[in-house]
Structure formats: C-alpha cells, structure tokens
Structure 1
C-alpha cells in the first residue's frame, strides 16, 4: 500500500493520457490517496465490506470528473483492493476487475 500511496497518479501511461485538465490532477490524486490512508488506518483483520464501502465512496466522490479519469480511479480502487491481499472480485463494476485493469 505504501508504494501505491507514494506513486504519482493521473499521469499519462499506455492509453491513458493523464488527467483531463491540469486542475483535475490534484483532487483526483488526493481522493485516491485519502482512500488509501483511510483503509490503512482500519484495524486488522480488515472487514471486506467496510473496505468495499470506502472504495465505493472513492468512486462516488470522483464521479464528476472526465470518463477517462473515473476509469483510472476505478483501476486504482482495484489496485488498492488487491494490494490488501483480497483475491475475489470487488464487484464494483459491471465487468470483471481484470477487464477494468486492462482498459
């Protein structure tokens, strides 16, 4: 989780061209980073339902951004989920987590 927290987010890579506008990058990164910090502060063992609720809140909080940026937030939600060691699907999306990550 520390690596996810420290990495710069919403920069161009692959087919993702980066945050839609320069002004969007910081609030998007802050939203993802705050979700990571909140989840890291949860007591062990982590409750999957509570983690999923926090990830769902992350998606809701960033719903007003451009589609590509919302998709990137979704990929971060899955990366966070998997970094915690969860193997099952998040079921946060209409397609599998692997397909979301491939987009």
Structure 2
C-alpha cells in the first residue's frame, strides 16, 4: 500500500514554478516524483534532501487533501508492515 502511495497514486506535480508563488499542477504518478519537466523532478528531489525546506516540501507534496490522505495511507501501510514482521519476532512465534 505504501509503495502505491509513494510511486503510483495520481497527484499534481507540486514543484515551485518560476514566479516563486505558485506550484505546478501537471499530473504525475506518485507523491515523490515530479512531472515531465526535468527541473521539477530535480527540484522535488532537492527538497527531500535539504531539511531546511521541509515546509516547502510538505506544501509541494501535499497541496490538497487527496495527497494528504495518500501520505496517511502510505505511513499506515508501512507501520502495518513493520508491525507484521516485528511482533512475531518479539513474541517468539516465528
């Protein structure tokens, strides 16, 4: 489920446009990837790496409720997968 949300769910690109105030609204697949414009893909990757731009990243990646819900599903799916692996190891049933 989390891989679907990160790389497949249809969302907007969300990269910052040249005017510095608006975000790209081209369609992309996945909340981590940019649109067909090379600069937008690099811009989103740089925002992920540079921690000083966390606020801009969250606004670019999650501009609408749809993207926020997809991220929530990704985190929930990842937590569920980790719990499914770790609980039997901790309890000793595996």
TM range, smaller chain? 0.3 to 0.5
Q: Give the TM-score of the pair, scaled to structure 2.
A: 0.34
Larger Rg: 2
Q: Give the TM-score of the pair, scaled to structure 1.
A: 0.31
